[in-house]
Amino acid sequence: MKRFLPLLAAALLAAGISGAQANDRYRERPPLVVSPDLSAPWVLQLQRAPQGARVSGLRGVRVTPAPRQVIRRERRETTRAAPRETARQAEPMVQMAAAAPAQARSAGPQMDPMFLPQTVNYSGPHKPGTIVIETASKFLYLVQEGGQARRYGVGVGKEGFLWHGTETISQKREWPDWRPPAEMIEREKRKGRILPAFMPGGPGNPLGARALYLGSTLYRIHGTNAPWTIGGNVSSGCIRMRNEDVTDLYERVGVGTKVVVI
């Protein structure tokens, strides 16, 4: 009996250990820790280690997945949202781009608004129907009844080309041809600019849309293809007007109209 007791105790102890081992399979296993020198060859075969795995010093390697999937998902969402936001922001830019050509056309040199046509009071000595040109103020007046005048802005002769006097309109021409005088051709040639001997009428012609010839002189009241020069000393003695203004004046006066240049 005394011999049997030690054997029974050993059997019971073995049974308890076996039960503990059986229950141990349901517990959470500790992380696998291996030597750093042995980790790379076989751990990478078990699973693809993400870029950014950490090595925990002498205790071995612990593979920690980097949050790459989260980063990719955020990028995809940003990429999907960006075109919608860009489209909303781009809509006014498209409208601005469409308007750009019109703005570019109006962005060049502009005439001072003070030289636009208007009706003003007139108390001068000249009779209605007379054209009076003040070269100092760069205004042309068509005297009207009732102490008023139709006033237009003009360009006049440059220094050395101003003149004063009284003439009459001898001819009227629509879209006149241009034949520069010989002295003008020679003068411009010395400046390095070659003028044609003849230029047909049209939008590119320096005489513009209409011309009123003054007596037997070489001077004219005419239009221009450079309207921003109105209000300046710009010509070789001719009186320069905007095309729309000289057209308006052309319809109001006839051959024989008196023109006074002061």
Q: Is 126 annotated as catalytic?
A: no
Other C-beta atoms closer than 10 Å to the C-beta of 207 total 22
Element at 157 (helix H, strand E): strand 156-157
- Side-chain half-sphere of 70: how many Cα atoms within 13 Å? 3
Name the active-site residue from 138, 210, 222, 242. Answer: 222
Calpha distance 261→40 (Å, rounded) = 103
Calpha distance 137→260 (Å, rounded) = 14
Distances (CA, A) of 164 to 74, 133, 217, 249: 81, 9, 12, 21
Name the active-site residue from 156, 238, 259, 260. Answer: 238
Q: Is 47 annotated as catalytic?
A: no
Q: Which residues are catalytic?
A: 222, 238
